[in-house]
Amino acid sequence: MHIIESGNVAAASGVKLARVQVIAAYPITPQTPLTERLSEFVDSGEMDAEYIPVESEHSALAVCIAAASTGARAFTATSANGLLYMNEQLHWAAGARLPIVMCVVNRGIGAPWTVWNDHQDAISQRDTGWIQLYCADHQQIIDTVLKAFYLAETVSVPVMVCYDGYILSHTYMPFDVPDQAAVDKFLPPFTPAYALTPGQPANLNTVTLPDIRPDVRGNMAPGYMEIRQNLHADMRDAIDVLADVNKKFETVFGRNGDPYIESYQCEDAEFVAICLGSLSYHLRDVVDILRSQNISVGVMGLRLYRPFPDQAIIDALSGRKGVIVFEKALSYGNQGALYGDIKAALYPAAARPVIHNYILGLGGREIKTDQLVEALKNSCTQADAIGDAPQWIGLKL
């Protein structure tokens, strides 16, 4: 069924189709319409789930942690400072290996207050042990929500589905809503290896000693360091698992794309712009303009950010003349976070391209096509004149 609706409705539709059993909700702009729509689904009987309004984002994730610990499929959503307020629980959910899915409707963080879009919220939480997937349109939102549950429950790692506030959350686009029977074929019920039940009480995630030790059955159990290594190893394995999830999704629904990078005009491109989220679609217009000026350039949108798909980056960008990283976030005192990750991934490449970094759109600052054209053209024609420091687009003072 094709409908025209907002990005938040696309996400809510995916959650309903996934047969989520517990929804924890706390309002924060611009994700609020997502959980509001889910409340309507539950109230109307379209969705058989517990909808739990809470008093804070910290509590929202605590509810999901408790629900997932009992074997329930759990979901929440947030934005900006709400995500930051969850920080302690983000680490807990990942360390407890709970397959929670959360939509992060990207928004700038305070102080000072802003309700507009950038990526600083999700980027600031990139090291909490959550998988991060980014969407560029409404079809990707609903599809990625479904894939996220499958991925999370396969590798036992929670997943953030990130999409741009207002630019996607509140705009209306056409997208396909798949049949429930097809979704059930793709995404089976959640059957955890272990779940808390009243008949089998247990203590989970108690104080862990630095070294390995025997468990209650006398078997050697991992210490804190081994637990962390296991999480890291399973996140790295999730790169390949995501590719398998994509293949299964294509088998069931007949549509797919590269699980890591969405490319446009890159087959013969000497220079490639790369970014997260909907900006990659804006840059397609810029690429078309520069192509008309005989500048060999393409654009790539990165779909998977954590775990970082370094081999896919090497395969896609090694041998190019230049790579231009546009990002709506910053690792303060250093450089753009995505820029640093791409530089690190390309470091061992035999044919390493020149790499530039542009910071733009922070706090919802308008991103003008002519500014992007100028910046990308400069990087393609004056590659050696632009250094390693981030270049800022759209500053007015």
The architecture of the domain spanning 261-392 is: 3-Layer(aba) Sandwich (3.40)
Indicate the helix (H) or strand (E) that contains 299.
strand 297-302
Task: Return the SS3 of 148.
Answer: helix
138 neighbors 5 (Cβ within 8 angstroms):
yes
Q: Which CATH class is domain 2-186?
A: alpha beta
Q: What's the angle, vertex CA 323, arms to CA 321 and CA 325, rounded to 5?
A: 165
Classify residue 129 as left (phi > 0), alpha (psi -120 to 50) or beta: left
Among 390, 365, 366, which Cα is nearest to 379's? 390
- Note whether 20 and 76 are within 8 A (CB): no
Q: Where in the chain is the domain with CATH 3.40.50.920?
A: 261-392
- What is the secondary structure of 81-111 as a DSSP string? HHHHHTHHHHHHHHHTT---EEEEEE---PS
* Amino acid (1-letter code) at residue 89: Q
Burial of 75 (0-12, 13-18, 19+ CB in 10 A): buried
What is the residue-level pLDDT of the chain in tens, covering all 397 positions? 899 999 999 999 999 999 999 999 999 999 999 999 999 999 999 999 999 999 999 999 999 999 999 999 999 999 999 999 999 999 999 999 999 999 999 999 999 999 999 999 999 999 999 999 999 999 999 999 999 999 999 999 999 999 999 999 999 999 999 999 999 999 999 999 889 999 888 888 988 888 998 887 889 989 999 999 999 999 999 999 999 999 999 999 999 899 999 999 999 999 999 999 999 999 999 999 999 999 999 999 999 999 999 999 999 999 999 999 999 999 999 999 999 999 999 999 989 999 999 999 999 999 999 999 999 999 999 988 898 999 999 999 8
Cα–Cα–Cα angle for 245, 100, 61, rounded to 5 degrees: 160
According to the model, what pLDDT value does residue 192 have? 92
* Residue in 171, 151, 98 with CA at minimum distance from that of residue 128: 98
Per DSSP bridges, beta strands 213-214 and 220-221 are: antiparallel
Cα gap 105→162, rounded to integer Å? 6
Could you give the CA distance from residue 299 to residue 136 in angstroms, rounded to a whole number? 13
What is the helix (H) or strand (E) element at residue 155, kind and residue range? Answer: helix 138-155
- Rounded to two decimals, the pTM is 0.97
SS3 318: coil
Report angle CA 322, 325, 135 to the nearest 5 degrees.
130
What pLDDT, on a 0 to 100 scale, did the predictor assign at position 320?
Answer: 97
The full DSSP string for 159-192 is EEEEEETTTTTTSEEEEE---HHHHHHHSPPP--
DSSP strand pairing (213-214 vs 261-264): unpaired
Coil, strand or helix at 75: strand
Separation between Cα atoms, residue 175 and residue 14, nearest integer Å: 12
Query: How many of the other CB atoms lie within 10 Å of CB of 156?
Result: 18
Contact 317, 323 (CB under 8 A): yes
